[in-house]
Amino acid sequence: MSVTADNTSATPGGTHSAPANTAGTGEPLRPHAEDAFADELTALAAHDDRPRPPRWKLSPWAVATYLLGGTLPDGTVITPKYVGPRRIVEVAVSTLATDRALLLLGVPGTAKTWVSEHLAAAVSGDSTLLVQGTAGTPEEAIRYGWNYAQLLANGPSRDALVPSPVMRAMAEGMTARVEELTRIPADVQDTLITILSEKTLPIPELGQEVQAVRGFTLIATANDRDRGVNELSSALRRRFNTVVLPLPASVEAEVDIVSRRVDQIGRSLDLPAVPDGIDEIRRVVTVFRELRDGITADGRTKVKSPSGTLSTAEAISVVTGGLALAAHFGDGVLRPGDVAAGILGAVVRDPAADRVVWQEYLEAVVREREGWTDFYRACRDVSG
């Protein structure tokens, strides 16, 4: 069982949920990957007879199997956590088995954070050594901070030092995660250079340093739409192996991803079971892909693209919201009216420009598409 807020220890600019006994507390709304998929990780470890790098919970082969899914010799089914090219996962896992850091790069909604979390869970059994990058992330979030009460009372000491998630990962041979690296100010980003090149973290106030022990790895994620926000320096970029996570290659692949995640989220939220809504999922995915690509699926009609990303993650959110509407306020069947408002909210981010784009798409594409009459009417009704 994972920790709750009462047992969460904070570090400057990031959080780390320290292991704790949570007997008697409520069940987490979103369990960490190592908790949610503990049975699969245990089954993989039991069948994993391949070499494991120092302090890894699984071999690289088993980590890839955990991410991509498969069936073990005893019939245990490992569900896929990432649906995409196998080689991408193999390159990412192989990078972590070396002394290189891994940078997962891609447009919003390509599962960078999801893959990062599951890699950390499979490699170290702990995905919570996390620094969340923002424009206000301080240097202490990556290096260390101080307990100022102890600092004022006794002066600088190791007892007064508050380790960052990265520092803890170095000392314990674990996997650290840095989310949205390019959101972090450039001078704070460069704090990672010494850590990644020398594998040390100096503590000049104490005349000491923390040396990374074997097993230490670092996974960062970055949104390539943030290019120009806080570009990585060439020195820092050289310390990473970069793996680009692509958008789903086809409608069917994206429908599969959305269906799987919606099912997982629905079960975690105890949403009432809703009959198969694959038709509406396919419509949502098709609309998002066409607006994202600027052309209809048959290649015949060019359309304008809105300002938003219309990612797979947003499609998952739209369908999940639709399921909740169908289950609690409808007849239990996912219908066009259940997803229409969510689509409008995802598409129309700029009320002026995006509304024009959406109205043109509705009239020129959706209205003329065979079998989409109910969907067109539902979207038109919520669009005013």
CATH superfamily for 33-244 is P-loop containing nucleotide triphosphate hydrolases (3.40.50.300)
| pLDDT given at position 99 | 87
Give domain limits for the chain. Answer: 33-244, 251-383
Residues 6+ apart with CB under 8 A from 74: 43, 47
| pLDDT given at position 1 | 32
CB atoms near residue 357 (< 10 Å) = 18
What is the rounded distance in angstroms from the CA atom of residue 102 to the CA atom of residue 193? 13
pLDDT surpasses 70 at 323: yes
Task: Kindly state the helix (H) or strand (E) to which residue 43 belongs, with its residue range.
Answer: helix 38-47
Local confidence band at 324 (pLDDT 50, 70, 90 cut-offs): very high
Residues 6+ apart with CB under 8 A from 118: 33, 37, 66, 67, 81, 82, 127
| pLDDT given at position 3 | 35
Q: What phi and psi values does residue 26 have, to the nearest 5 degrees?
A: -70, 155
Residues 6+ apart with CB under 8 A from 337: 330, 378, 381
Paired residues of 219 in beta bridges: 102, 177
Average pLDDT value for the chain: 89
- 3-21 pLDDT, tens per residue? 333 333 333 344 444 444 5
Strand 208-211 relative to strand 161-163, pairing: unpaired
What is the rounded distance in angstroms from the CA atom of residue 55 to the CA atom of residue 90? 19
* Mean pLDDT, residues 174-190 taken together: 94
Q: Where are the alpha helices (DSSP H) in 97-156?
A: 112-124, 148-154
| pLDDT given at position 321 | 94
Q: How far is CA 383 from CA 95, 350, 371, 374, in A?
A: 47, 14, 20, 14
Lowest mean pLDDT among 1-5, 41-45, 87-91, 323-327: 1-5
| pLDDT given at position 344 | 96
- 79-92 pLDDT, tens per residue? 999 988 999 999 99
pTM of the model: 0.85
Local confidence band at 25 (pLDDT 50, 70, 90 cut-offs): low
Q: Which residues of 213-242 are buried (b: 16+ CB within 10 A; e: fewer)?
A: eebbbbbbbbbeeeeeebebeeebeebbee
The phi-psi region of residue 75 (left if phi > 0; otherwise alpha if psi is between -120 and 50; otherwise beta) is: left
